[in-house]
Amino acid sequence: MPSAIVSNKGWVVIPKAYRQKYKIKPGDRVRIIDYGGGLSVVPLPEDPIAALRGLLASEPSLTAALLAERAQEKAIEEGRIE
């Protein structure tokens, strides 16, 4: 398992194998997450909106389900459905 040394300025070099695997280039931003007992370095996408686009595309539409539920409730209230 690769390791790194923290410099006097607090800099840590991400090993080349991980930079290549996660496509981290010079100038890219990363987020440091504190889990209480350890730290995690997470690469941030250049365009966060584009990175999330389509994330829920395979999931059913919650809006469509809500509209259908409201239509059913309205029909019950109007006495069209029991």
Q: Domain extents for the chain?
A: 1-44, 46-82
How far is the first Cα of the chain from the last one, in angstroms, to the nearest whole number? Answer: 64
Q: What is the pLDDT of residues 1-51, one digit of tens each?
A: 788 899 999 999 999 999 999 999 999 999 999 999 999 999 888 887 887
Q: What is the pTM of this model?
A: 0.54
Q: And the tokens for 71?
A: 């239509």
Evaluate if residue 82 carries a pLDDT over 70. no
Q: Which segments within 3-82 are labelled E, that is strand? A: 30-34, 39-43
The top-level CATH class assigned to 1-44 is mainly beta
